[in-house]
Amino acid sequence: DTGVSQNPRHKITKRGQNVTFRCDPISEHNRLYWYRQTLGQGPEFLTYFQNEAQLEKSRLLSDRFSAERPKGSFSTLEIQRTEQGDSAMYLCASSSPMNEQFFGPGTRLTVL
């Protein structure tokens, strides 16, 4: 399968715990995006990589969120000290320059 994949698909955690999500983009895409989406809303931009460089991070993103793309291929998104407000669907997308973004299936996070 050559689409975008994300793991895990679902994550339930207790408040205060750390969680890490993984995204494997389409192999020839050099751009990778992380979004957060809650019910009835469009995707909210979190951060963006071009190859291994993190070029933009949302100003709304707290310091508890960090993302990496160490070799310009897969990416990880870590949330430290999770809060109930972090419960959402976390979407990863990839694209080649100036083309449409292809989304992965998402990771649904529930913080208890």
List residues near other proteins by CB under 8 A.
40-45, 48, 55-56, 91, 98, 100-106
Q: How far is the CB of 109 from other proteins (least distance, A)?
A: 14
Nearer to other proteins, 24 or 80 (CB): 24
Q: How far is the CB of 2 from other proteins (least distance, A)?
A: 15
Give residue for tokens 């508890």: 64
Give CA–CA dist 25/58, Å, rounded. 20
Please give the full DSSP string across 49-105, using - where no structure is assigned: EETTEEEEE-TT--TTEEEE-TTSS-EEEEE-S--GGG-EEEEEEEE-TTS--EE--
Question: How long a stretch of residues is the chain?
Answer: 112
Nearer to other proteins, 42 or 85 (CB): 42
Q: How far is the CB of 106 from other proteins (least distance, A)?
A: 5
Nearer to other proteins, 49 or 65 (CB): 49
